[in-house]
Amino acid sequence: MKFLEYTPLERINEFLSCLNLGERTIKGCLEAYSCKHTGTDKKLSLSLENEILDYLGKSSDTDSSSPAEFLLSRSSRKTLIYLVLTLYHMYPDYDFSAMNAHQFFTEETWDGFKQTFDTYMFEASKEWTQTSEGVSLLETLYKALDEVVKLAECEIYCYSPDSDGDPFLERGAIWSFNFFFYNRKLKRVVSFRFCCLSNMVSDEFLVDGLRYEEDGEIFDGMDM
């Protein structure tokens, strides 16, 4: 997977890098990747493929809603592998299992994504509109994504892991979403993660850190 730079995405990333709204901060990041293997991708891809095939070999469940049924298609397996490879590039220090990640991916529609975006990014959109001559943040996002991955040809996935296994969560997170826009023809993926953080929790964390440092200074000259 190769990271791709696109100016339209960078403009949105700059706006969402740390949007302070008083008690809350909105953060978001768009990243585009080519699905062409680079570096250790080929070895990792083979490992993920073997993991999936091993799971399929052990599974006797033929329920049409089961992971085994879905992954019988080579095309579906390739899609999952590309999505997991994208996760690895976003978080290289985190160990993602193909079958574990699979249970947290759900396919979405643009309308479903739009509903989530309109609901949770309402305040961010207001801030954007005030500084962008009335052009909405969603419209700008749509045009940027369409330029990079041609939305009409995209499959959209939402990644929602449980809190214990979520590398995306930051301290003080109120909510967090992770969407992936995958164009099979272009062999290209755009990830979009956005979250809302409580500034109160962050402030408490900083205060606790300062107190810890002060306490450390007090005890520095004492024999323990």
The three state secondary structure string of the chain is CEEECCHHHHHHHHHCCCEECCCEEEEEEEEEEECCCCCCHHHHHHHHHHHHHHHHHHCCCCCCCCHHHHCCCHHHHHHHHHHHHHHHHHCCCCCCCHHHHHCCEEEECHHHHHHHHHHHCHHHHHHHHHHCCCCCHHHHHHHHHHHHHCHHHEEEEEECCCHHHCCCCCCCEEEEEEEEEEECCCCEEEEEEEEEEEHHHHHHHHHHHHHHHHHHHHHHCCCC
- pLDDT tens for each residue of 122-161: 999 999 998 877 789 999 999 999 999 999 999 999 999 8
d(C-alpha 187, C-alpha 118), whole Å: 28
% of the chain residues with pLDDT over 90 = 56
Q: pLDDT tens digit string along 17-73?
A: 999 999 999 999 999 999 988 888 999 999 999 988 888 887 655 455 555 667 788
Number of domains in the chain: 1
pTM of structure: 0.84
Length of the chain: 224
User: Per-residue confidence at 221, pLDDT binned at 50, 70, 90?
Assistant: low
pLDDT at 15: 96
Domain that holds residue 210: 2-220
The burial of 29, by beta-carbon neighbours within 10 Å (0-12 exposed, 13-18 middle, 19 or more buried), is given as: middle
CATH of the domain at 76: 3.40.1000.50
